[in-house]
Structure 1
Amino acid sequence: MTAPEQPSPPADPPSRWGTARGAALLALALLLLLASALALTLSLSQLAENRAQVVRTNTILRGLAELRAIARAAETGQRGFVLTGERRYIEPYERATDRIWTHVSELEGLIKHPAAAGLLRELQPLLHAKLDELERTVALRERDFDTALSAVRTDVGQELMERIDATLDALEETERNLLAVRAAQEERSAVSATRLAGLMVVLALVSAMLGSARILQQRADTHLFESDRRFRDLAENIQEVFWMSDPRRTRLLYANPAFERVWGRRREAAYRDPAAWLEAILPEDRPRPGDGHGDEIGDEYRGTYRIRRPDGSVRWIRDRGWPVRDAQGGVRHLVGVAEDVTAIREAQEALVRANEELESRVEQRTAELTEVNLELDAFAYTVSHDLRAPLRAIHGYTEALVEDHDGALSEEGRHYLRRIGASALRMEELIRDILSYSRLSRAEVGLRPLSLDALVRQALSGAAAAIEETGARIAVEHRLPDVRAHPPILAQVLDNLLSNAMKFVAPGTRPEIRVSAQRWDGRVRLWVEDNGIGIAPEDRQRIFLPFQRLHGPETYPGTGIGLGIVRKSLERMGGSCGVEGRPGGGSRFWVELQAA
C-alpha cells in the first residue's frame, strides 16, 4: 500500500543556513513543548486537588444543612408529642436522634480545617445536651403533661437550640469562606491549565508545521529521510490525533497513530477513502457548507462532535484546525489536533446529574418540613377551637354563681371564683392569640399601598379605652410615609406594639409613647418608642418568639404571643422587626416594610 501523497517541495533547495535554522527552531519548539507538558501535568494535578477540596467543602455544607434539619426535626417531633401525647410524633423524633451522630461522624471525617474542626468539637456536647433535654421531656410527657409543659417553658431547650444554631452558623460561615478561597484557587488552576493546554497545542502545531515544512523543503535533499523521521517522532507519539488534509480535494494527507486508537479505524482506509473521516461523525454533528471545510477557509477551525467507532461506541471529539498558506496567501493544506474529550463530557454530565439530584433532594426535604409545619398549624387550630367551648362554659358558670349565689358564698369562695374567671379569660386570650398566629401561616397576604398615617390613627382609635385607662400620652410624628402592606395584618402589628408600650411600664408610671418613621433605599422603618421597663440586650431576639415571657402573668398580664405575631406578620409581608434600648430607659421597637 502506498503512502499518501505529500505536498510538493519548494522550487529551490534550501541552503545549509536555512536547514540549520529550521532544525534549531524545531528543537526549540520541542523543548518548549516538553516544558509546557511538564507545567501542564503539574497544573492539572493542582486543579484536581483544588476541585477535590471544593467538592469536599460542598459536601460539608450539605451535611451541616442536613444536621440542622435533623436537629429541628427532633425538636419538632418532641414538641408535637408533648402537646398531643400522640405516638406518631415520636417516630420523626426517634429517626432524627438516630441519624444525628451518623452525620456528625461523617462530618468529622470530612472536616480538616482546624477552625472548623474546633467548632465541630464544640457542637458535639451541645447536641448531647439537646438530645438529653429532648429525651427527658419526652419521658416527663409520658408520665404527666403539666410537668413536661413546665420543662419546655424553662427555655433550656430553646437556649440549647440557639447555641447549636449559632455554632452551625459559624461552621457554615467558616466553610463558605474556605469554599470561596478554594473555588478561586480552582478557577486560577483551571485558567492556568487551559492556557498551558492551548500553548501545548500551539507548540505541537508549530512543531508539526516546522516538521512538515522541513519535509517539503528537503524532498530533493539527501537528508529527506532524517527529516521525515523527526517529524514522525513528534507527530506519532503525541496522545492527540494530529492530522493534515488537502481542503481543495477533501483528501486526508496524514494522520498520526492516535487516529487508529481514537477512531478505531485504520489510517490506510482513511487515506484511500476521503469520506471515511466524515462518515464516522454522527449525521447531526457533521459540518455543513460554510463551516470552514470547503473552498473558503478561515483563519481557524474549532469544533466539537461525536464519532461512532466500528464497535458501536460513541466518543466525543474536540477538533482544532488551522490553514497553512503559501507565499501568496493561498491555503496549501490544513493541519489540526483532534482530542478525545469523552471523559471530560461524561464528568460534566455526571456533575449536572449530581446537581439535579441534590436540588431534587432539597426540594423533597423542604416539602416534608412544610408538610410537618402544616400539620402542626392544623393541630393548633383544631385544639384552640375545641378548647374555647369549655372555657366559655367555665366563664359563664362562674358569672352565674357570682350573680345568683353571691350572698351564699364566703369571701374566700368569691375570691376563688374571681380567680377561676380571670384564668378562663386569660386562657381565652391565649387561644385567640394562638389562632391569630396560626392564621398568619396560612392566610393569603396581598400587599398594596397603604397610608401609615391612616393606620396609626385607626390603631389609636381602637386603643382609646386603654389610653384613657392608663393615661398614656402618645405623640405621632406626621406625615408618615406610605408603605406596601396587608391592611388587617399591619393593623394588628400596630395594635400589639401600642398595647405593649402602654402595658410594660413601672407601677405608678404614666406611659409616654412616640411614633415616628424614616425612609431610605425603598424601605420605611416605623419606630414605636416608650418609657417602659426596657429589655435586656440578651433578650431582644428571644421576645419575638412565641410563648417567650420575661415576666410572670401576675406582674404583667398577657399570653406571650403578641410579639411573635408581630414577627410572623412582618415576615409574611416581606418586612422585618426588632428592638433597641432607649437612652434614659425604655425601648425603641421598629418594623420595616417596602415603601409604596
Structure 2
Amino acid sequence: MAGIAIVILSIWLNLSALDTLVANQRAQGAQRSVAAQLQNLVSLALQAETGQRGYVITGKEEYLAPYRDAVERLPAAFASLRNSLEGDAGQLRRLSQVEALQGKKQDELGRSIAVRRDQGFAEAQAIVSSDVGREYMQQVRDLVAAIDGIERGKLVERMAASARSAEQARRSIVFAGALDVFLIGALFLFTRHDLRMREKAAAERSRSDAMLRELNQSLERRIVERTQELQTVNERLDEVNRELEAFSYSVAHDLRAPLRSMHGFAEAVKDDYAGRLDEEGQDYLRRIADAAARMESLIDDLLVFSNLSRGELPMQPVAVDDMVHAALVNLEADVRASGADIRLDLEALRVMGNRQACVQACQNLLSNAIKFVAPGERPSVFIRCEQTVDGDGGPAVRVLVKDNGIGIRPDRLDRIFRPFERLHGVDEFRGSGIGLAIVETAVRRMYGQCGVESRVGQGSLFWFVLPGAA
C-alpha cells in the first residue's frame, strides 16, 4: 500500500508541475496580446491625425476616410485593452488617462476639421500650429510606453517562470515516472510473494517503502536585449514561443513510454490479483489507472497541438464529407456511449487543406458537441457545409457544427480558442483545455478562419472557413 500511495503522490506532483507550466504559457499569451493591442491603439491615433492633416491641407473629403475609420475603431480598441488589463488597477488607471487624452485629441482634430470646412485653410492651420494636439499626442505616447514597459516586464518574468517550471516538470516527471514504474513492478512481485509466503509479508513490504525525492532545479533565462520597437519585441517573443513549443513537445514525447508502462502494470495487477486485494487496494489501483490515462490524454493533446504549430502541413484538395465521416469514425465509441443524434447536410464541396488537420479540427468540434451537454440531456449535433468567399473574394467553404449543449457565456467567447483555456472544472467535464486551440491552430495554418456563436442554455454554433478547391 505504501508503494501505491507514493505512486499517487508522484502523479499528483507531476500534474501540479504541468498545471504550473500551462498557467505560465497562458499568461505569456495574454501579455503578448496586450503589446499588439497597444501598437494597434497608437496606429489608430496616428491614422486619425494623418487623415485630419490631409483634409486641412487639401480640403478634400476623401482625406477624411482614414480619420473616420480610426475614430470608429478606437472605442473597440480601448474596450479590448481594458478587458485584457482587467485586475491590474494601476494599468487600468493609465489606460483611462490615455483614453481621456485621446478624447481631447479627437476634439482638437474634429474642431480643426470643422474650422477648415467652414472658415478655410488659414484658420484651421492656426489650430494645428498651436501644438495643443501635438502635446496631447506626446502624452498619449508616453503613457502607452509606460503601460507597454510594465507589460513587457511582466512578460519577461513569466517567460523565466515558464522556463523554470518547464524544466522542473520535465525532470520531476521523467524521474518520478521511472520510479513509479519501478514501484508498480515491485508491488506486483511483492504481492505475489506475499500470497506464497505470508510469514515474510512484513519484511517484503518494508523493502518497497522507499522515499520519493524531488529534484528541483531551476533554469534561469535572461533577456539580454529589449528594444523599444514593438515589432522587434514581437519577433523575439515569437522565437521564444517556438522554442517553448519544441521543448513542450520533447517533454510530452519523453513521458509517453513511462506512462504506458505505469498504466500497463496497474492493469496487470488489477487483472491478476484484484480478487486478492481489499477494497482500499483496488481503489488505489483504479486511481493509478485513471491518473495515468488523464496524463496520457493531456500529453497526446500537447503533441497534436505542437505538431500542428511546428510541423509541415502539405496541402491538397479534401472532400468535406470525407473529413467529417473520418472524424465520426474516430468518435464512434463516444457517439455510441452518449446516444448522440448526429445529422448531416453535406454538399459535394472540397477545401484546399491538409487532410489530417481537417479531420482533427472536425473531430475536436464534434467531440465537444457530444461532451458539453447538461446532465441527462441527449446530445444532438447538426453538421452542414456551404459555399462562401474569403476576405479577398476567393472561393471558400464554411463547415458548421450546431449542438444543443450548455452554451458559453458572452464574456468568455473571445477566450474560447486560447490554448489551455478551460471554462469548466475537470470534475464537471473531462478534457485537457487544448481541443479548441488545436482547431484554431489547424485552421489558421491552412489559411482559414474559425469562430463561434453561443448563448448559455441554448447550445453553440462552431464554424470554420477554408479556401475552396476545384
- TM-score (ref. length: structure 2): 0.54
- Give SS of 2:463's match: strand
Q: Tell me the alpha carbon deviations over residues 175-232 of structure 1, each in whole angstroms, 9 at most, x when there is no partner.
A: 332234345657789xxxxxxxxxxxxxxxxxxxxxxxxxxxxxxxxxxxxxxxxxxx
Q: For 1:415 and 1:518, how far apart are their aligned partners in 2?
A: 50
Is the alpha carbon distance of 1:443 and 1:147 closer, same or farther for their aligned partners in structure 2, counting shifts above 3 Å?
closer
Shift of residue 405, structure 1, vs aligned partner: 2.6
Structure 2 contact 344–382 (Cα < 8 Å) conserved: yes
Q: 1:421 aligns with which of 289, 305, 329?
A: 289
**Whole-Å Cα distance in 1 between the matches of residues 284 and 49 of structure 2?**
64
Whichever structure has more strand as a proportion of its residues is 1
Q: Give the Cα–Cα distance (whole angstroms) in 2 for the partners of residues 389 and 490 of structure 1.
A: 28
Work out whether 1:443 is the aligned partner of 2:314: no
Q: Give the match for residue 376 of structure 2.
A: 508
Q: Confirm or deny that 1:386 pairs with 2:254.
A: yes
Supply the AA of the counterpart residue of 2:411: E
The higher radius of gyration belongs to 1
Query: Number of paired residues?
Result: 282
**2:423 aligned to 550, 553, 569, which one?**
550
How many Å separate the matches in 2 of 1:471 and 1:511?
Answer: 7
**Mapping 1:117-516, distance limit 5 Å:** 146=17, 149=20, 152=23, 166=37, 169-182=40-53, 368-516=236-384
**Compared CA separation, residues 154 and 409, structure 1 to 2 (3 A):** farther
Q: Residue 480 of structure 1 contacts residue 517 of structure 1 at CA under 8 Å; is this kept in 2?
A: no
After TM superposition, give the deviation of residue 540 of structure 1 in Å: 1.3
The 1-side partners of 2:28 and 2:230 are apart by: 27
Q: Which residue of 2 aligns with 1:589?
A: 462
For 1:550-578, what per-residue CA distance to the aligned partner results, in whole angstroms no more than 9, with x for missing partners? Answer: 11122211111110000000110000111
State the shift of 1:458 in Å: 2.0
Q: Give the residue type in structure 2 aligned to 1:586.
A: G
In 2, Cα distance between equivalents of 1:151 and 1:444: 24
Deviation string for 1:314-357 (max 9, x for gaps)?
xxxxxxxxxxxxxxxxxxxxxxxxxxxxxxxxxxxxxxxxxxxx
Match in the other structure for 1:271: none
Determine which of 428, 433, 436 is the counterpart of 1:563.
Answer: 436
Task: Give me the whole-angstrom Cα distance separating, in 1, the residues matched to 2:18 and 2:271.
Answer: 36
| 1:536 positional shift | 0.8
Residues 377 and 399 of structure 1, relative CA distance in 2, 3 Å threshold: same
Name the % identity: 40
Work out whether residues 541 and 578 of structure 1, in 8 Å CA contact, stay in contact via their aligned partners in 2.
Answer: no
Change (3 A) 1:384 1:580: same
Question: Is the CA contact 1:524–1:593 (under 8 Å) kept in the aligned structure 2?
Answer: yes
Looking at structure 2, the residues matched to 432 and 490 of structure 1 have their Cα atoms a distance apart, in angstroms, of 17
How far the C-alpha of 1:493 sits from its partner, in A, is: 0.5
Greater RCO (CA < 8 Å, at least 6 residues apart) = 2
Output the CA distance in 2 between the equivalents of 1:490 and 1:433.
16
Offset, 1:533: 0.6
* TM-aligned CA deviation for residue 548 of structure 1: 0.8
- Cα RMSD (Å): 3.2
Deviations along 1:466-488, whole A, 9 cap, x unmatched? 11111111111132522111111
The 2-side partners of 1:394 and 1:444 are apart by 33
Relative to structure 1, the CA distance from residue 151 to residue 475 in structure 2 (aligned partners, 3 Å threshold; closer, same or farther) is closer
Alignment of 1:59-138 (within 5 A): none
> Kindly tell me: are residues 145 and 502 of structure 1, through their superposed partners in 2, closer, same or farther at Cα, counting changes over 3 Å?
closer
Are the aligned partners of 1:540 and 1:578 in contact in 2 as well (CA < 8 Å)?
no
Give unpaired runs (5+ residues) of structure 1. Answer: 1-143, 190-360
Give the whole-Å Cα distance in 1 for the aligned partners of 2:427 and 2:421: 15
- Tell me the amino acid that sits aligned with residue 387 of structure 2: R
C-alpha separation between the residues in 2 aligned to 1:584 and 1:374?
A: 38
- The 1:551/1:188 distance shift into structure 2, 3 A limit, reads same
Which 5+ residue runs of structure 2 have no aligned equivalent?
1-14, 61-228, 390-394
Distance 1:462 1:364, change over 3 A: same
Partners of 1:517 and 1:524 within 8 A in 2:
yes
| Equivalent in the alignment of 2:404 | 531
CA contact (8 A) 1:523 1:595 kept: yes
Deviation at 1:535, TM superposition (A): 0.7
TM-score (norm 1): 0.43
Question: For residue 574 of structure 1, what is the amino acid of its counterpart?
Answer: Y
The code of the aligned residue for 2:384 comes to: S
Alignment partners' CA distance in 1, 2:274 and 2:294 = 23
- Report the equivalent of 2:67: none
Structure 1 pair 414–520 and aligned structure 2 pair: CA distance change class (3 A): same
Which one has the bigger helix percentage?
Answer: 2
Q: 1:438 to 1:184 in 2, by over 3 A?
A: farther
Deviation at 1:581, TM superposition (A): 1.6
The alpha-carbon deviation at position 526 of structure 1 amounts to: 1.1
